Structure 1
Amino acid sequence: MVSEAEKAQFFVILKKLSEAVGVSGHEFEVKKVVIEEISDVVDEWRVDSLGNIIALKKGGGNGPKIMISAHMDEIGLMVTHIDKRGFLRFTGVGSWNERILPGQRVIVCAGDVKVRGVIGAKPPHLMTPEEKKQVIEMKKLFIDIGATSSDEVKELGIKVGSIAVLDREVVRLGGTDRVTGKAFDNRVGVTSLIFALKLLSDVEHEAEVYSVFTVQEEIGLKGATVSAFAVKPDVGIAIDVTTANDIPEVDEKDWVTELGKGPAIKVMDKGNISHPKLRELLIKIAEEEKIPYQLEVLPGGATDAAAIMVSREGVPVATISIPCRYIHSPIEVLDLKDAVYASKLLAAFVKKLSKDHIKRFSML
């Protein structure tokens, strides 16, 4: 069961993380929140040269080394040009569906200064009938911050290379356990890992637990690649979102996962196939702990597990996924129960993993 107190505590952390700005390569605000939340539940932590947070919770000695990875970064926008009237042209950081961008409010960051703006486009009443049928390309969009000249923009500290995110608050939907906001990919995974560490704060376990909050996943799993090399884990777990396509206009066979049915234990995505014995261990633990779960086969996408798997001599990996609707949009939707259950599954896995399990992973 997931208690109301657990959901409330989880929501508070998720809201702080989601509303922070953390575009790939610029995860500074998110890192501050993570460090604040984990400092009293891990034995030590450090930030590596790429910006990953690597936190260690020590085990009982001579136990297996687990790397649990949750990426901190979100997709965003980057300024490419400032015209003489103060409009900003931009490109995407990470993978965007361009059809959602026109008409959005944004926050443009210039150091510690945040400037609100809107994404504008050619007005519809000036479009030809053919143009109205088409998705407006990103190169034809611009950000309007209310400036009247390029000098005004520069006085604010905004320049080529400044980053922007969509402007959204995390809120509950209709007083339910469903919540919506931006950057749940993957701030909910980050929150679930933090919450799991809090569940483990007074628990003894054999394993050495390396919780790694990675950077630059959205542009090619960069943070997981270097941190896995440094940690040298015996086993790796990624915690990330997956698509919940349980909505109108999508056939049930294409749903992948559903909200409210528990976290998903990934079988395969475009980046890797979960180690079969590790996957079965997660299933066994979920059933023992009475944690609802789903099995996930995702046609596209990848997680940090794909990078951890091929580190050094190879690492058995699996992914625990949190179902999420409308991924890579400012209105992502998830169920708090699924996310808390993901934390409980992670914590149970840590408590039960032993050296014997690691040996079995390499047996025929």
Structure 2
Amino acid sequence: MKFILRHLKPILTILFIAIIFSGFTLVNPLEEKSFSKTNFALSTVISIKAFGNNSEKAVEAAMDRIQEIENRMSAYIEGSDVWNVNHSGSKEAVKVKPDTLQVVKRGLYYSRLTGGNFDITIKPLVDLWAINTERPRVPEPQQVNEAIKKIGYQKVQIDEKQGTIKLLQEGAGIDLGGIAKGYAADEVIRVLREHGIKRAYADLGGNVIVLGKKKIGLMEYITSWIRGKKVPREQDWKIGIQDPFKGRGLYMAIVEVSDKAVVTSGPYERNFEKDGKLYHHILSPYTGYPSASGLVSATIIADNSTDADALSTSLFLLGEEKGLQLIESQPGIEAITINQYKQVRITKGLEGKIRITDKEYQLK
């Protein structure tokens, strides 16, 4: 027995190499089944990958739920809940679906928490700048001032018992662009779980959420075992933090998480240039212009994507000092900021848990 145990590893190594070079696909049937799909919704590219026997059905159901959310909560789809509220003006309360009411209520919570820096009634400014359209523009100062007068979360009245929403000022408007995508990501995870999925990830255009832990491939696991490395089969997901000065898919740092949402807000996705100046889509309800807080990226790590979505925008608008103070006061929420000088700041809970991969960036 001692002889067998002593020579087991060399024997397995020889056998493993023989399998690889023979082209035999013994490993493949043992790999976990998976299904992935990419779509365009919520004005961005959506990607979902789930692992397990029911993965295809689960992903399709999750994609359907995303489309349902967009059809209810988009301010620009005629007949949606939000469209109906905005077009009823201050005349009457509008009955909406329970999930729309839930997201509006949460949006109002963060509007109050941030003193109106994050504000779901930003629509008059969004329409004025038209940054999300093919014809963005720099409005006149007088137009900006007029739009600001129509903004204010206090202008939204909700009646939970009746399930209604009403605007209290003519010309006011709700835009859930800063929170609805986060809610959609949370719903993806809920739907996947209902279908028995225990391991998955989804990327909703900068809103990343992961379910469970990542399982490394069996071949990779065996190879590491042969080399004498104790590598666990299940590991945290490695999430890259977008480099705000480079193209999409290029990262400057990595965080490792499981069962978390990682949401980043920045000016690099939607912007336009006019007379040599760059204008981005994150508008300040107070100035009426794109935020000039000094940040170029704000990332939130949280248990759910709804909160992470709203807080990432809030952090970007508030800036380093006020923003990080707010995040530190929120239990279970962590943050990463990058300023225009490529200086990185993190909340206390992330110390030792972030790995900067680009030497141009330094922890401040």
TM-score in same-fold range (> 0.5): no
- Higher RCO structure, 1 or 2 (CA under 8 Å, sep 6+): 1
- Provide TM-score, normalisation by structure 1: 0.25
- Structure of higher CA gyration radius: 2
The structure whose residues are more often helix, as a share, is 2
- Provide TM-score, normalisation by structure 2: 0.25
